[in-house]
Every structure is written in C-alpha cells, then in structure tokens.
Structure 1
Amino acid sequence: MVFVVKFSKEAIISIKSKMKNLILVVLFLFLAIPGFAVVGQLETVKGKVIDAKTKEAMQFVNVSVRKEGSTVPLTGAVTDNQGVFQLGKLEPGTYVLNISFIGYRTFEKNFTLDSPDQNINFRIIPLEEDSQMLGEVKVVGQRSQMKFEIDKKVFNVDENISSTGGTASDVLSNIPSVDVDNDGEVSLRGSTSVTVWINGKASGLSADNRAQILEQMPAESIERIEVITNPSAKYSPEGTSGIINIVLKENRKAGYYGSLQAGVDTRGGWNTSGNINYNSGKIDAYFNLGYRKRISDGGGISNRTNLDEAGNPVSYLNQTSDNNGHGGPVFLRAGGTYHLTTRDHLNLAAFGIFGNRKQKGLIDYESNIPGSFISSLRASNSENKMRGGNLELGYKHDFSKTSNLDITASWNPWNMDGSSIYSQSSLYEDEREVFSYQRQKSDVRSTSWELQADYVNSFSENNKLEAGYKGTFSHQNSPVKTYSGETEEEASPDEALFNRFYYDQDIQAAYVNYAGRFNKFGFQAGVRGEYSHTNTKSLGFGQEKGDVPAYKEDYFSLFPSVFLSYELPAGHELQVNYTRRISRPWGHQLNPFVNITDSTNISFGNPYLDPEFSNAYEINYIKNWENHTLSVSAYYRNTNDVIQRIRYLEGEVMKSTYENVSKSQSAGAEFVAKNNFSRILDLTTTVNLYYNKLDGFSYLPAGAEKAVTGKTNEDFSWNAKMIANFSLPASFSVQLTGSYDSKQLIAQGYRKANYRLDAGVRKAFWDRKLSVSVSGRDILDSRKWKTETSGDGFRQYAENWRTGRTVNFTLTYSFGNMKASRNRNQQQPRENNNMMNQMEDSF
C-alpha cells in the first residue's frame, strides 16, 4: 500500500516560513558535534552489553577503543537494539576497551592484537549500576532516570522525589514532552490524541475514564514511564501522537524485599502503603496494598461577551466557580510468576482500585442579557464511586534464548457510579426569584477483554522476526437518570434528561515485523491490519433497546511502519521512521446525551464522528558521550478528519459538541539532553518546538440556525522542561522540576502560556533502610489554564485551576533479605547456565 501526501502551495510556503529558524537550529547542532575518523568496514572487536541486574540487552551504550597508555579514542560505536557492538579493523598492538553509559559503572578491559587479521569477541559484558565513593564523602548514585531505546524513551520514576505522595497524574506531569491539564487530560508533544497503557496493555483505560483512574493511582506504585512517539506495527496505532506506557513495580530481587510508607500533606490529605516481593528461583511473587485520601480545591472564572453582527458588544455573562473535594481509593495489586521449567513460565497478575470521592461546587453568575437573570447562584453536591481493575493470565514459552511465544488474556472491569444534586436560585430585573432543583444519577459499567499472542524469533544477532495477534472487545453501558423540580420535594423524573448509552467496540489486529542489520545500516519494516467494529445506541425515556436503531461502523485499515538507522562514527546514531496512525472517537464524544450541569453551557456528543487518520514521519539523531547524551528529533504529522470541540450560541445559551472539522498539519523538533556533572548533578533538559496548522471549516449542527465556522489557524509554540537531581553527602537527595508552556493553538482560539515548579528533598538513614521525603508540587502556585475563544456572536475568556501549592511529608521504611543464602545458592547454577547459553546463542 502506497500513501501519497499532497500539499498546497500555500501550505508549503507557510511551513517553510514557520520552520526556517527551527531547521537552522537543528543544522547548527548537527554541525557543532565533533566528528571522529571513519571506522573501517572489517570487524576486529565485537561483543554484547547487558544490564548486570536485569540481564536485558542495553542499547545506545557508548563503546570506544584507545591505545594502552593513551586517553584519546581511536575508534568508537554504540550498541544496537540487541546490545551488540562492532568495531573496525585495528593494527597489531595493545588496546583498552571502554564501555560507558549514564548511571552505570564504566567498564574497561585490556586486550592485545597479534596480527591484523585477528578478531576479538568479548561475548557478554554486564554493566553494573553506579554507586561510588568520592574521597572521604560517601555519595550513593541514583539509577539513571532516562535512557534511550530503539523505539522509545524510558524514564525511571521510582526515585522521583517531586511526585512522592502524589498520583500517576503527578508523575506524568514531570515527564519530558508529557503534560496533564486541569481536567486530567494527558497530552504528548502538545497533542491530546495519545494512548495511555498500564504494563503494556490498555487495561481498561479509555479517554472516558483514564483521567479518573490516573488521579486515583498512587505514584509509589510506578517504576517507570515509557514514551513511544512513533510506535511500530507491533503496537496499537491508536493515538496519533504516540503511546505512554506506565510500568508498575514488580521487584525481582532474590529472597524477600518490601517497604512501608506513610505520608501527609498540607491540605489534610494522607496516604499509607506497603509492599512485599518474594523470589525463590521457582516462584516470583509480589503484593502491594495502599490507601490514599486526597483533599483538593479548585475554581475558575469565565467572562463571555455577546456580539452583534458588526462585532460590537451587546451583553455579557460572567461566572466564577469554586469547588473542593475529598476522598480516595484503596489500591490493591498482587501477582506472581511460576517457572514450570526453565523454558515455560506461567504468570497471574491483578490490580484494583476501590474507593469514593465527594465533591462540592458553587457557580456565581452575573448577566445583563435582556430577559435573563441578573444574578444566579448554582450549588452542586456530588459523590462518585469507583470499582475496577485488571486481571491477567499469561503463559510464555522460550523455544531458545532468542525465540519465544508469549500469550496473555486479561479482563478489565470498571464501574464508576455518580450521583449529583444541583440547586439554583436566580434573580431577575423585576425582583422575581426563581428556584430549581435537580438530582442526577449516572452509572458507568465498562468491561473489556484483551487477548494477545506475540511470537519473536531472532534468527541471528542481525535478523529478527516478530508476529502476533491482538483482540480487544469492550462494552459500555451508561444510564443517566434526572429528577427536576423547583424543590427537592417536587422533583419528578425529567424525561428530556434521561439517557442510556450503549457503546460496543471490537478491534482485532494482526501484525508482522522484520528487523535486520547490515554492517552499520539497520532497518525494521512491518504492517498491521486492524478490523474495527463499533456499535452505539442512545435510548430516551421509556425506550427499550429494540426500539432504537443502532449506529454501526465497520472498517478495515492497514498501518505500515518503516524504521531505518545508520551508525555513524564515534558514537553517533541516525534514525528515520514512518508510521500510519489512527485516533478513534471515544464514548463521551459519541454520546448525544445533553449535559446540563451548567444550564448556560450545554454540551453533547456526536454519534456520527469518523476516526482521525495520520501519517507520522520522524528523524532522530543520538550521540552518547561518557557522561552526556544528546537526542534531536524532527517530526511531521498530517491528520485528516480532525475531531475538535466546537461552540456556538443558541439564543443566550452556549452549546458545544464534537465534529470532524478539517485537516491539520504538525511539525516540530524535540531536543533532549542528559548531563551528568561530577557524579553529583544529573540534569535532563527537554525543549519542544512545534508548528500547528488547522484548516478552516464550516459546520451546521442539527437544530442550529447558523453554521459554525473557523478560520484557518496556525501558530508556532514551544515548551521546555528541566529535571535536576542532586546526590549530596550525608545521603541527601534533591530534585527540582521546572516547566514552561508557551501560547498554544486550540479550536476557535488559543491557550495562554503557563509555568510550574516542583521540588523535593530526601534524607536516608540506617544504610538507606529509612528515608524521609519532603516534596512540593506547584510551589509557585502558578499552574492555571487560561483560554481565549471566539465564534459567531461571542468571545470568551476562561481561567481554571485546581489544588495549587501542596507540600507532602513522607516516611519510607525498607526491609528484606535481598541476599538470602538459600535463594542465592539455588539460583547461582541456573544463572551461570543462562549466561553460558546467552554467550552461545548470541554469537
């Protein structure tokens, strides 16, 4: 299948003008990096680098060779996606092999070449994590918080001090290129069309519920975050900007190991948790239990000006809101792996979230709209209960050290029940006061099944085949019942505000990937075929399922991917890739139910939305030094049938819905620098520069008198994020995280710039078994979302905020026997045998 991308002359000129400075910056960085002599093509030295602890292959590790007694490298390379390195021809002599990677101890090995034709094979070289002594002062090194892999960036967050005592949303907001807004919406590189996984699977998360789930998931349960900006055909193509994978902790140390944690914050919230892990060589098991109560408050303002046909102000509607909530969930997680044989492994894992949260809100209105109230006060009181989780059963068979079959089945039930009471009193010019009362109950029942089988076969160190199947079968039932009246006693069923929404989506996919390498050239090509079936049905009051025809949509799509890489001299790596992506509309966007939580701002969905399709192109450059890493990425994405929220006035009421408005183009560059200074300061800096263009559109919603129009809009935006980790004497650790987001384009307007600063400090005692952490989130109290929107007959300014400045105090105690002699004696022979097998299978 061939995809052809066409651009208008105007679009090309616009992109060129907006990206000129960006291209100059990229070229400058490329040219500024020093080069080394070109390496010969014949092999002399090769080997494979692995993590000494996990036994996993390590990619992009810097490898160099120098003459014995010299400090100047003669030649260098970086390891590929299998952890393998190859160096060119050397003259006879005595040399030193140097292998380095941030967060690991440098490995050095002397070797001698007796003849020009001699080859040296170091086979398996394990790198150990770095803990070092500087003079008389003990400084304990932290694990590197970021590393690059062939198709993703990995951020280790288990030692993230700034997020201690927080939630998964707090962790994500501190990840480079990732942002979380006031409503819990996650975005990647400025786009909210992103897929979020837990442990490599959807785990029941969808755009409808993930904000609530991430707000309930404790930060201390997360080990690392994987960011995949342009996933290959092996992965789901859902989410035009990529995939964020949240990997939960699952310790694999020998013996037993665990920790207890308790904390409080300055808003009156508190949390407590405990976990234990056990590994006997035959069984790996873990258990985690925690509770977290969160107290939050937020608010907002909205000023709307109504305009006449000439654009002159004629009236206004202003409102201020205030809300606060409290509550929290129990988080439970358990699982284990039983090693039936050395080649067969059975895995059972589960996690669950159970809890409730209460919320109170107050909206104060002022208006001079003729015939409307001059002031109004609307109070809300709601309670939301969440019960759900994930249960997974897996089986893995290792045909060899380089070939395996992995089969998993998972069940994901999520129930979110909510009840809300709204009472409103409005005062009119004639001093007439009108009262209204509403009680609304909404129960969301969501269930999904995932079946997945993945086969991997590495025929050699330079050739690998991947193939698999994945089926996702999801069902959602969301009834909403509303009672309305002037008072609670007079409230009766409101037929116009009854809704039961059924949403079924089945996606079946098969993929094949092939990866190979010739000398310094690597490639990976694959294709994924997906058949999607969607069935939605919206029932009104008194209607049965058979009374209403369903809206169905079935389609088959192909998603190719191509990845190319070339290993340049002296540790430089260049990658180019292309993928096709999709973003399907989700339940809330499709549900035509009218939401009247705010009677002056009414929203509803559109069941006739089409999915977005995107073509994504990316070029990556990576350079590793001994203590520094630089990654430069340039990307371009064009999207058809962009789904956007549109707003329009109907009478004096603002209405909003969703529509496939037009096409968009996005281009940008991402710079990631990882610097380790003097083994004390670890600095990660990310800068994103991106250009967005949204074509103009015209759309007439059902029942509207005038079409909603939007002019072609384009802008150049940028954001920056810096994470600084200090390892100080006396077992002190400090972390600072700062971010800045420039003005950003949205449909019918823009969002203003904002910034934030988080900080944390930790002190360890008793050989690091006990630690005390103090963390502050949004310590400048600056995290606010300000937007300007306009349309036919109105312009509006809105500002929203939540929680604000919060300080957490957390105490953690670690215990265990990580070096249990029984386990070590049992495991040592097997580990040695595995190492020998790896050496035989790898070369």
Structure 2
Amino acid sequence: MKNLFLVLFLTFPLIAFGQSNSGRITGFLTDSVTTKPIPFATVALQTADSKLITGVTTDENGAFTIDKVAIGAYKLVFSFVGYRTSVLNNVAITNEKPVTDVGKVVVSPDSHNLKEVNVVGQKALVEDKGDRLVYNAEKDVSNTGGTAVDVLRKVPMLTVDLDGNLKMRGSGNIKVLVNGKPSSIMARNLADALKQMPANIIKSVEVITSPGAKYDAEGSAGVINIITKKGVQGTNGTVNATGGNMNRSLGGNLNVKGKKLGLAISLNGYQYRNIGENSSTRTALTDGKPTSILRQRTSRDNTGTGGFGEMSLDYDPDSTNRINFSGNAWGGNFPMNSTLDSRLVDMQGNVSQNYHRDIRFRNPYGNTEFNLGWTKSFKKPGQELAVLTQYARMPDNYYYTITQTDMTSEVPTYLERSTNLSRNNEYTFQTDYSHPFTARTKRDTLTFKAEAGAKAILRDIGSEFVIEQALTGLEGDYAVDPGRSNEFTYNQRVVAGYASLKIDTKRKWNLTAGTRLEHTRIEGDFVTNQSRFTNQYQNLIPSFTLAKTLWKKHTFKVSYTQRISRPLIWYLNPYKNYSDPKNVQTGNPFLNPELTHATELSYSTFGKEGSSFNAAVFWRQTNNSIEWLAVVDGQGAALSSPQNIGRNASYGANLNLTLQPNKNLNFSIGSDLTYVDLTSVALNQRTSGWVWSTSPNISYKLPKDLTLQANGYVGSGWISLQSRNSGWYYYGLSAKKEFMDKKVSLTMNLNNPFNRTVKITGDQFAPSFTAQNTSLFVNRSIRLTLSYKFGQMSSGGKQSRKISNDDKK
C-alpha cells in the first residue's frame, strides 16, 4: 500500500504544474438546398494567413469537433465533392472562451452539378487512431442481423473459431469491454456472450494492442472495446427484426435527449441455433506404451433463447457537471443437449465399456449491472475529475441430467444429475483525474496531459455443486455422491493506483508513459472439506509508447507494456462436469496470475481518398501462461483443467490495407502471421509453429440506395500446448436496399451458401495420451433483416464515464 500512495504522491505535483491554453471548436455542416447534414466532409483549421494546422471530417450527422486548439484567431475551410468550398473567418479561442461552437454551417452545391449532387461519402471501414485500430461495424452491410461473432471475425488482428473462441495475434488472453467498461456477461463466458450479442447494436470495435497505465493491467494480448450505438440530442430510435435459418432477433432502442436530461433505452430478444458433430479416437499411454483405445461420437442440435435490456439516464445540472446512472440485464437459457456413443477397448480388442448417453445440459442465467458516476469538467479544456461506482451480480448456474444405456441393454442402466449454483458479486470504486497544460520552447510547442487515479475492486465468488447418481438406472434410487459434491467460496480484493503523462508536440512527436501499481489479496474456502488457502501479490506495471509523424501522414510507433491476468470464476470453479465421464472438466482455484511483456513496432499512413495502410511487428512473452490441459488415467478417462504451464512466447506481424478508389467502392484486407512457442518444463512438453489468417472485404454502392458486399476469411488453425488444429474458411454475400429517405432498410445475408458444414481436424498429444478429432459445424445460413429509423437527432452532448474492470481473464 505504501507504494500505491507513493505513486499518487509523486503524480499530483506534476498535475498541479502548468497552465493550459488549448481549446475546442465544434459545429455541424448542412446542405443549403436540402437542409440535410453532410457526412464525411473535410473541415480544415487554418491560421489567419491560411497555414494548415489540422483537419477532421464530419460524422454521420454532419457534426465535427476539433480538439487541442491553442489560443488565437483562426478560420475554418469546409470542402466536399459536389459542393463549393466555404470559409468561415474570425473563429477565436480565448482564455475566457476556450470552447467555441460555430453552430450550423451551410454550404452550397456546385452550380455545375446542382442536379446531380448526391451525398455518398463513405467512412473508412478500418481506421488507425494512433493508439488503437477501429473497425466501423455499422458501415459493414454483412453484419446486419448477425451476432458479435460475425462482427469480430472481420476485425483486423482478431480470429474467432467456429465455437466462438476469440484470439488476438494467436493469443486467447484478451480483455473485452463494452463501451469502455466490463460487461458481466463477458466475464461469465466470452465465447457464449459473443453469440448472444446482436450485431445491430454494435457501432464499432476498437483493438488496443498496447494499453496504457490507465487501463487495468489485464489482457496480455491486448484490449478489445465494443462500442454500441448511441443517440445524440433529440428524440430518435430504431426497430430491427431478423429472420433466418440459424438466428432470429427482434429489438429496438429509444433515445430522448435534451439540454440537461438524457434517457436511452434498449431492448433485444434473440435466438440462435447450434448444430454440429464430433468424433474422436484417443489412445491412453502408460510409460509411452498404449493401454486402451477410446472411440466417441457426439451430435447436437440446440436453439438458445435470450434477451437483454439497458437503460441509461444522464443529468447535466450545468455545463461542467454530469451525473450518470445506468443499468442493464442479460438473461436466457442456452442448452447444450447432445447424444454420446462411447466405446472403450483394451489393446487386445476386449470391450471394457460400450454405452449410449442422452445428455440434457442447460445453463439458465440472469446477469445485472448498475453504474453510478459523477464527472466534473473544469474551465480548462481536458481537465476532468470522475468518481465512479459499479455493482455487478453474475450468477452462473449449470444443470445436467444423464440417461445411460449399455449397448447390450434396452433399458437405462445408469442415471446421473448435477446442480451447480455459482455466483459472482462485484463491487468497484474508482476515481480519475486528468490535467492538461502546455509549454513553449524556441523550436516547439509541447502539449501535456497528466492523469492519475485509484481503484478498488471486491469480488465475492461462490459455487455450490451436488451430483446425484442412480447405479441401478431407476429414478427412485438417486443418491448424493459426496465425493463429487462440495461448496466453495472465493474472495478477491484488488487495490490499484496509476499515473501517466502524455506529451504531444507541434513537430508531431507523441510520448505516453505511465506506471500502474496493483495489490491483490485472495482467500479461498472449500466449505465441505474444511480446506482454506490465501495468497497475495503486488505488481508494478510500466507502459511506454513513442510515436513520430513524418510528412503529415506517415506515423511510426514503438511501444512496450507489461500486463497481468487474474483468473476469474470460469477458470477457478472446482465444480466437475461429469456429463461425459471419459472427458471430465473442472476449474482450478489454485491458479496464479499470468504476467506478460509486450513490445510492438508499427507504421501507418493514409491517403486523401480514404485509403489507409497499417503494419506492425510484435513480440510477446507470457510467464505463468494459463492453458487447458488434459491428463488420461489408467481407466482411459481424461481430466481437463486450466494450469499454469510456464512460458508462452510469440512474435509476428500484421497488416491492414483499405482502399477507396472512388466514392462508391471500398476494399479492405487484413492479414496476420504469428509464430507461437509454448513451453512447460514441469510437464516436459513444448509445442511451436506458425499460425496465419487473412480476411478480405469489398463493398460497392449502386444508384438508388443499393449496396452490395462480399467478405471472407481463411486461416491456418491454432496451436496449444497439447494440440494442433486444421484451418478453416468462410465467405459471405450481402445486399442492402434503403427506402423512404433511408429510414427503412432491408438487408439479406448469405453465409457459406455453397457449403453446409465446415470441417476441422485436430491432433492432441501428451505423455498420457494421443488423440485425433474431427468436428463438423453447420455454417450455411441465410437471414433477412428489416430496420426502421425514426425521430430526429443533432450534434451535442457529452460522453458519460463508467467503470472499466478490464483486469480479468
């Protein structure tokens, strides 16, 4: 704790130093004839003698904001294809008025093309924002009516397999945020959560490969921030309905925002279908010699149903204060019913076990989360104090019932049922302060932004599991199996403080450096067995990023950071899933956190027509890396659990290219190549190899508001310490037609129309077994989405601050 207060003590003198003379200019651009907003137009900020300082583009509603403007007099130059260039003079930033709103700026169509003017500017699908790469999901027609899985598969540097498992640059250690804060459903089970989040509500996805000190030190590969669609001033909303053979949804949102009070409500219901088959052959080994062979085949066809709602209330008592309250709830029931045929033989061919199982597995849940925060903005632009609180309740319950019939019997010979009631209550308090100031030298002007904050998290986790069995196969003979039943409680307390400094210069240098100190204390209790354990550790996490922009549009960046990943309930819960007695899964409450070193060197540039190019090389090493491992016993049964295997090192490169040859055509492609090296000295195992993927995307806007799009993905598969899996691919075609002045749209999506299933093969290897697996996933789908927008909206409003617990694995 002394180190924590030392960090804050050393930071505040830095914050108090200096004065800021930076400001902000806002406004919005409209057509003089139609009075409609003009999106994606260029707004250039120039000195009085016409020297260019910086520039931005208007957003979808024609609004623009120019930040970090020094005190002085300027002019704004507005330009867009088909319109006359317009100049607004005498735009002043003063100490008394650092924020200037120029209001509505009207521009006139070019008289030579007056009858042909049609605003069709397109926002780039992928943008490089310096510290993050942004994928503008709402501009991708193929996402309509899908889920977050469909969206993330198109995001640069990310891969999502057919089970929904997410990886960045070959690593699954990623932290996913929603609107800059953790979502309770994401903490529960990321793969399932992505399948349940409708794509229609996603505006963009940010990929942050080198998070700064302000972020919790979680996610060794990086942070992904999913931004959902929000309304601005006015009353507006949308209604969406999707029908298809694999997923269906119905939802909408309503936004009402005035000058001081804003209300946003969102409700969505959805279904998705999961069809697949698996077959495997596993050979058990003792001292390297085979002892038995297990052959299994499973099939499943399930439809999950769920929904979520969100409400946010903002109140601005004056121009410098904001109070925000928000709440959301997710709920649903996602079964994983299946049939299993299992046959175990010894090396002489004698049958030890041969049975059929009907498994009914369900996972009902209902998560809730509440946020309350206060943000104080000062007269100086960029100076801000935020006090935030959050409570999240995340129950996660599992139930299964098994009916087993031996192949030689016509009636059930064994019954089993299991109940696991787990909880995760999380309480968070956080405060952040930012203070900008400037300094001038003879050769340069330096803009500083100092930030400091503190955070406390309390997690109360528990699990109660009971397994009953009937060895006779009769319902009346159920009895509790005490050897497989227990109660487990787990408490985790995290206290953290951070300090960071960002420096921007007029000569286009950018430096961000910071440090974060985190102290963690853990207490665990196996109530039934009366066994307890405690642990505590402290981590000092540095971060550093240096960037230089040359010739106005070529940016080079180097960064280094350390990260820490604490396992949460999904990894810790000691409940054992015996639904397949030859493949038992359990958590590990004795896991240690992962510690990661990450370095990156990147280059990015952009062109006038919306083209961009980004490339990076990186190196990452994770110590205490957590991997799911399996051990097969003498009876041919495997026990899988997460373990700290040792070292996970990787290096590689990724590139992303976006081209807009004209205002109607957009093409992008992303590729990545990573060498993965996993080593466990304790297990005497090592696995290494290359993994790669590439994903192209092309769209074209036709006359009469019709858009066509094609996208695809191909990858080499993935590697873990005990397995290698084959690659897979998908492709999709989309068409979108807009009606009624773009208020109504109809979108059709086809995925893998010429292939019903995707096949993946894999090999597993360990000192106690070898295995070969084949999986078939039904991936061919068609869906049709009808969307209706209503109401009016205009620029304005502030962004609410919320808690961001991004420290969990």
Q: Does the 8 A contact of 1:613 with 1:640 survive in 2? A: yes
Match of 2:781 among 806, 810, 826: 806
User: Using a 3 Å threshold, how does the CA distance of structure 1 residues 719 and 99 change in structure 2: closer, same or farther?
Assistant: farther
Q: Percent identity?
A: 25
Mapped pair 1:765 → 2:739 = yes
Post-superposition shift, 1:483?
1.2
User: Using a 3 Å threshold, how does the CA distance of structure 1 residues 125 and 739 change in structure 2: closer, same or farther?
Assistant: farther
Q: Which runs of 4+ in 1 moved over 6 A?
A: 46-51, 61-65, 73-82, 96-100, 103-112, 122-135, 431-434
Mapped pair 1:481 → 2:452 = no
Question: Which residue matches 1:498?
Answer: 485
Deviations 1:618-669 (A, max 9, x none): 1121111112111111111112122222222211222222322221221111
Match of 2:161 among 181, 203, 223: 181
SS at match of 1:214: helix
C-alpha distance in 2, partners of 1:358/1:793?
32
The code of the aligned residue for 2:256 comes to: Y
Match of 2:765 among 783, 790, 805: 790
Match of 1:720 among 683, 689, 694: 694
The code of the aligned residue for 1:813 comes to: Y
Post-superposition shift, 1:778?
4.3
User: Using a 3 Å threshold, how does the CA distance of structure 1 residues 397 and 438 change in structure 2: closer, same or farther?
Assistant: same
Question: Which residue matches 2:145?
Answer: 165
Question: Which residue matches 1:227?
Answer: 207
Mapped pair 1:643 → 2:617 = no
Question: Which residue matches 1:533?
Answer: 521
Post-superposition shift, 1:768?
0.8
User: Using a 3 Å threshold, how does the CA distance of structure 1 residues 354 and 658 change in structure 2: closer, same or farther?
Assistant: closer
Post-superposition shift, 1:382?
2.5
User: Using a 3 Å threshold, how does the CA distance of structure 1 residues 367 and 98 change in structure 2: closer, same or farther?
Assistant: farther
Larger RCO (alpha carbons 8 Å, 6+ apart): 2
Q: Does the 8 A contact of 1:360 with 1:382 survive in 2? A: yes
SS at match of 1:358: coil
SS at match of 1:730: coil
Mapped pair 1:388 → 2:367 = yes
SS at match of 2:578: strand
Q: Does the 8 A contact of 2:400 with 2:579 survive in 1? A: no
SS at match of 1:695: strand
TM-score between both structures, scaled by the size of structure 2: 0.82
Deviations 1:354-384 (A, max 9, x none): 2223342101223433664463211111332
User: Using a 3 Å threshold, how does the CA distance of structure 1 residues 374 and 148 change in structure 2: closer, same or farther?
Assistant: same
Question: Which residue matches 1:301?
Answer: 279
Match of 1:319 among 288, 296, 312: 296
Question: Which residue matches 1:694?
Answer: 678
Match of 2:559 among 548, 567, 577: 577
Post-superposition shift, 1:284?
1.8
C-alpha distance in 2, partners of 1:204/1:724?
35
User: What are the equivalent positions in structure 2 for 1:99-138 lying under 5 Å apart?
Assistant: 136=116, 138=118
C-alpha distance in 2, partners of 1:308/1:497?
26
Q: Does the 8 A contact of 2:85 with 2:107 survive in 1? A: no
Match of 2:193 among 190, 213, 216: 213
Post-superposition shift, 1:725?
2.6
Mapped pair 1:351 → 2:321 = no
User: Using a 3 Å threshold, how does the CA distance of structure 1 residues 450 and 156 change in structure 2: closer, same or farther?
Assistant: farther
Question: Which residue matches 1:777?
Answer: 751
The code of the aligned residue for 1:520 comes to: K
Question: Which residue matches 2:457?
Answer: 472
Moved more, 741-750 or 243-252: 741-750
Question: Which residue matches 2:510?
Answer: 522
Deviations 1:246-290 (A, max 9, x none): 2222211x32111212121124x5321121111221222111112
Post-superposition shift, 1:613?
0.8
User: Using a 3 Å threshold, how does the CA distance of structure 1 residues 793 and 332 change in structure 2: closer, same or farther?
Assistant: closer
C-alpha distance in 2, partners of 1:309/1:477?
39
Mapped pair 1:287 → 2:265 = yes
Question: Which residue matches 1:31?
Answer: none
Mapped pair 1:656 → 2:665 = no
Post-superposition shift, 1:233?
0.6
Post-superposition shift, 1:578?
0.7
Post-superposition shift, 1:162?
2.1
SS at match of 1:375: strand
Question: Which residue matches 2:7?
Answer: none
C-alpha distance in 2, partners of 1:130/1:443?
62
User: What are the equivalent positions in structure 2 for 1:317-716 lying under 5 Å apart?
Assistant: 317-369=294-346, 372-373=351-352, 375-400=354-379, 401-427=381-407, 435-460=413-438, 462-485=447-470, 486-518=473-505, 519-539=507-527, 543=528, 548-627=530-609, 628-651=611-634, 652-699=636-683, 709-710=684-685, 712-716=686-690
Q: Does the 8 A contact of 2:356 with 2:407 survive in 1? A: no
Q: Does the 8 A contact of 1:682 with 1:726 survive in 2? A: yes
User: Using a 3 Å threshold, how does the CA distance of structure 1 residues 680 and 446 change in structure 2: closer, same or farther?
Assistant: same
C-alpha distance in 1, partners of 2:361/2:108?
51
The code of the aligned residue for 2:508 comes to: K
Question: Which residue matches 2:727?
Answer: 753
Across the aligned residues of Structure 1 and Structure 2, the Cα RMSD in angstroms comes to: 3.8
C-alpha distance in 2, partners of 1:476/1:398?
36
Mapped pair 1:203 → 2:191 = no
User: Using a 3 Å threshold, how does the CA distance of structure 1 residues 492 and 806 change in structure 2: closer, same or farther?
Assistant: same
Q: Does the 8 A contact of 2:280 with 2:297 survive in 1? A: yes
C-alpha distance in 2, partners of 1:141/1:167?
27
What stretches of structure 2 of length at least 5 have no aligned partner? 1-21, 30-38, 58-64, 90-98, 439-445, 799-809
Question: Which residue matches 2:242?
Answer: 263
TM-score between both structures, scaled by the size of structure 1: 0.79
User: Using a 3 Å threshold, how does the CA distance of structure 1 residues 128 and 668 change in structure 2: closer, same or farther?
Assistant: farther
Q: Does the 8 A contact of 1:158 with 1:223 survive in 2? A: yes
C-alpha distance in 2, partners of 1:245/1:127?
32
SS at match of 1:595: coil
Question: Which residue matches 2:251?
Answer: 273
User: Using a 3 Å threshold, how does the CA distance of structure 1 residues 778 and 342 change in structure 2: closer, same or farther?
Assistant: same
Deviations 1:43-100 (A, max 9, x none): xxx99887858xxxx99x99899xx9xxxx99998899985699xxxxxxxxx99999
C-alpha distance in 2, partners of 1:240/1:227?
13
Q: Does the 8 A contact of 2:393 with 2:426 survive in 1? A: yes
C-alpha distance in 1, partners of 2:103/2:692?
40
